[in-house]
Amino acid sequence: VNIPAGTPIGVYTNTVSSFTSNDTSLGTSNATVHVMSPTAVTMTSFAAYATNDAIRVQWRTSAENNVAGFNLYRATSQNRATATQLNAQLIAAHGASLPYSFNDTTAEAGTEYWYWIEIVNTGEANQEVGPTNASIAQQFTIFMPFLSR
Per-residue pLDDT, 44? 87
DSSP 4: -
Cα angle value 7/12/18 (rounded, 5°): 115
Per-residue pLDDT, 32? 56
- What is the Cα–Cα distance from 85 to 34, expressed in whole angstroms? 27
Peptide bond into 4 cis (omega under 30): no
pLDDT tens across the length of the chain (149 residues): 455 555 555 555 655 555 556 666 555 555 555 455 555 788 888 999 998 889 999 999 988 888 999 999 999 999 999 999 999 999 999 988 789 999 999 999 999 999 999 999 887 788 899 999 999 887 666 776 777 77
Per-residue pLDDT, 78? 93
42 Cβ contact partners less than 8 Å away, ≥ 6 residues apart: 61, 62, 63, 96
Q: Assign residue 6 a region: left if phi > 0, alpha if psi is -120 to 50, beta otherwise?
A: left
Per-residue pLDDT, 23? 65
